[in-house]
Amino acid sequence: MTTSPDPKRILAIGAHPDDLEFGCGGLLLKEVQAGSELTIVVGSRGESGSSGNAAQREAETRAAAVLLNASERVHFLDLGGDGTQRECPENALKIARLIRKVQPQLVLAPSPNANQHPDHRVVSQLTRDACRLARYGGLEPLKDLPVHKVASLWFYAVTSPFETNAEKPVLIDVSAQFEAWQQLMSCHQSQVQSKAYLDLQNSRARHLGLLAGVDYAIAVWPNDPLVLENLSSHSKTARGY
């Protein structure tokens, strides 16, 4: 693992205990291996799910955090309960407060579009709002913490293979992290024992990898337009059919 005296700080948020590991676990592993410092944020403990209970699912998240070198940076936020997370100013402020504490350069959140779970959509919008609130210096509820402007906000797909944004995604090669990603997802034993989540993520990663000309890839979408020095520096795009 690469170390840096001033590592890039990443705050990654999911609505449920397994969202990050399944949706973008390979990408998180790649960033951590490159020396980034990861903070994990979860909006609930999965207490309304059909498999596992709140205590078990929290333990699974903490086990996965060890593999992501983030065991001391795991935060469970009460955003309204599993299945009933609420898009409201109070919840946006909870996330904004954590952003000010962590001071991340990069934030990852669930994709806002074509998302089959209401909690994912809610957390996506809450995170977008929180990134803006974190930089408002005159916001009274946050005045005890220094303002912070997030350099980039990115979205990841959680479950549906059709989950996408209007724009084309950015594909990240996670071929070298694929085996470790399997271990990361398998930390959530309450979920992988009864559902085909591993098959879903692996088949999607393989499909995206074929588009990118690699073995496995993960799709992410920027909240804001990407800035390039010039077109010639952007030399690779996904192959078409």
Segments making up each domain of the chain, as ranges: 9-233
Residue 178 pLDDT > 60, yes or no? yes
The stretch 129-153 carries a mean pLDDT of 96
C-beta separation of 9 from 103 below 8 A: yes
The stretch 112-141 carries a mean pLDDT of 90
- Cα angle 1-16-93, degrees, rounded to a multiple of 5: 90
Domain spanning 9-233: which superfamily? LmbE-like (3.40.50.10320)
Q: Is the pTM of this model over 0.95?
A: no
Digit-coded pLDDT (tens) for 39-52: 999 999 877 666 77
